[in-house]
Every structure is written in C-alpha cells, then in structure tokens.
Homo-oligomer: A and B are copies of this chain.
Amino acid sequence: VDLRELGEFGLIGALRRRAGAPASAWAAGIGDDAALLRPRAGWERALTVDALIEDVHFRWRTTDPRALGRKALRVNLSDLGAMGARPLGFLLALGLPSATPAARLRGFVDGLLAEARSAGCPLVGGDTVRAPCWSLAITALGEVPQGRALRRSALRAGERLFVTGELGASALGLHILESGGPRSAAERRFARRHQLPPARWRVGAALLAARLARAALDVSDGLAQDLGHLCAESGVGADVELDALPTAPGFAALCRRRRLDPAALAAGGGEDYELLFAVPSDAPGAALLSRRLGVRVREIGRARRGRGIRWFRGGRRVDAPRSSGFSPFKPR
C-alpha cells in the first residue's frame, strides 16, 4: 500500500475500522468533527499530550515500528498514571512522509492499537497529515475521582519518597543504541528498555485507590529534574540517597565498561517512565508497598522544609550528580 494512493481518508478509514467501536464512556468516536465523551458525576477528566519526533526522540535505524507504537501511547498513559487517573481513550495526530513504507506504518499502528487494547484506552479521533519526518502527538484522556488526583503540588515535608522499578536503564539503552547497538544479551535488555519503557500507570491508580499517596509524577526527564519539579511545585526540598536509587542487575558494570557514571545515569537519565511518589512518614515500608502495588518500589529519600535537592551517599552529603537530563531543544 502506497500512502500517496491510500491518501488521508484511506488511512483514516483503516484506523477507524481497526479501532472498532469506542467504549461505553464515549457517545461518539472516530468519524465526526470531534469525539464525544459522556458525563460522569464525581469524576474529573485528565488530559495530557506528548509529542514524539523522528530523529529527536527516536531514530528508525534503531527503532522497531511496533515498539514505537506501544511506546507512543505508554508515555501518555504514564502521565495519566502520575495523576492516578484511569485511561479512557486517546487522539492521534500523525504526521508522515509521503514515502512512508507500508510495513513501517502497519507495524506502528499494530503496536499502538495493541497497547490501546491492553490498557482499555481506545483510539477515538485524530488527524493524519503529510510531514517531512514522522511527528506524533498523542492526547490521552483519563478519569480520576474528583479532588483526589495525585498532584505535583501535594508533596509535604517529612513525606518519604519512593520510586518504582529501575532508574537509568533507558538512558544506558539509548547510549548502547547510539554507539553501534547491543553486543550482548544484557545490552539488548537495556536497549529494549529504551525502545519500550514500562507501563506503570496502574500503580498510580492503585496508589490513589488505596489512599496511600497524594503527590506523584512520572520520571521522564530524569529523576533529578523531575524531583526538582515536584519540590518546586510543592514549595519543599528533598534529601536523596544516591546509593538507594534502584537499578537493574548488571547496570553498574555495563556503565563502567562504557565509562559512564552509574549514579549520574540513574539520577539524571531520561525516559525511565517510572513513577515517583510520596507517602506519609508512618506509611508501610518498601516491602509491603511493593506487595500491595504489584511492582517493586524503593525508598530513595525524604521531603524536607526548604528548597532544592540535597544528595547523600552512605549518609554523607555529596555533590549533585552530573546532569545528563535530556533537553528537547538541544541536539542529543
């Protein structure tokens, strides 16, 4: 199938057929000037948008189209989860070169709609246009009980900070992909972690449902930067123990072999899409929380009165790890 022959309406028709009928939350999906979401008393609706641009956020040389489709939706589900919201549906703005290979487009759509099905988050509308490179913007919509969303502004001094899963894995994976590709099974695992981050949105909804946390965000720009946002929005500071940052087996060894600082990557590497959240000082510890949430979580520090992040190693104050946060306006 050549996209120039299929045309915009051919592509929209194919997406519409494959997206199927929208869930009962929707009065209208694809096929009208706008999608229509039914009202639900007592629930706020959460909206977020994320853009992915070819050769800025991914390169086709190192990207599997199906994984990109899944990732494109996951990064948005991650934002919903960081509010504690349950996904309801999404809109896709898709810019494509005229000469896009059909298999690439099909793989992307397959991955996107597979992720949508597994999250119960149907495609309900969008726009497809010609563009010089792949440029995606996905708007995801979710819902959360009124007044109970997890907020960046809700962190309080004394609360304990936790993070899900592992940090730095995506940044190490990106380094591997950008320097010749993986050369071992271990390297392939990290590369894969960059190509397809974990889906933690259910953890946010579970934290909210169990009334365990009130403050959260997803770690997309690196822990240091994102925790900085959380502190700034809440008007507090934080103390973080570098040795407590959770990393995957083999992470430190692979970093050292590549002359990368493991702590800098764990504290500053982007695109982890792990969930950072805070619980009161008398809340359960990591072991119990991990069991209740169904995912390993690690306590990494504590919020305090004041401003900024203080870093510790084995209890002793150390300098902030060198930043390796991704800035979308600087060439990578």
A residues neighboring B (CB under 8 Å): 3-4, 6-8, 11, 27-28, 31-53, 55-57, 79-80, 82-83, 85, 91-96, 98, 124-133, 135, 137, 139-142, 144, 146-147, 149, 151-153, 216-218, 233, 327-331
Contact = CB atoms under 8 A, between A and B. Distances in A.
Residue from A7, A49, A132, A147 whose CB has the most chain B CB atoms within 10 Å: A49
Given A7-B330, A93-B137, 4 more contacts: A35-B47, A51-B131, A56-B95, A98-B330
Given A8-B328, A51-B127, A139-B91, A37 B28 contact: no
Contact of A33 (B48, B51, B53): B48
Residue from A35, A47, A130 whose CB has the most chain B CB atoms within 10 Å: A47
Contacts of A216: 33
Nearest to A96: B329
A294 to B, nearest CB: 21
B33 A152 contact: yes
Given A31-B233, A98-B330, A144-B36, A133 B130 contact: no
A127 B50 contact: yes
Contacts of A85: 34
Contacts of A48: 33-35, 91, 125
Contacts of A28: 149, 151
B36 A39 contact: no
Copies of this polypeptide in the complex: 2
10 contacts: A31-B153, A32-B149, A34-B46, A34-B47, A35-B47, A48-B91, A56-B131, A96-B329, A130-B328, A137-B139
Given A36-B144, A218-B33, A327-B7, A47 B151 contact: no
A94 B141 CA distance: 19
A135 B53 contact: yes
Nearest to A51: B93
A11 B329 CA distance: 10
Contacts of A98: 329-331
A277 B44 CA distance: 32
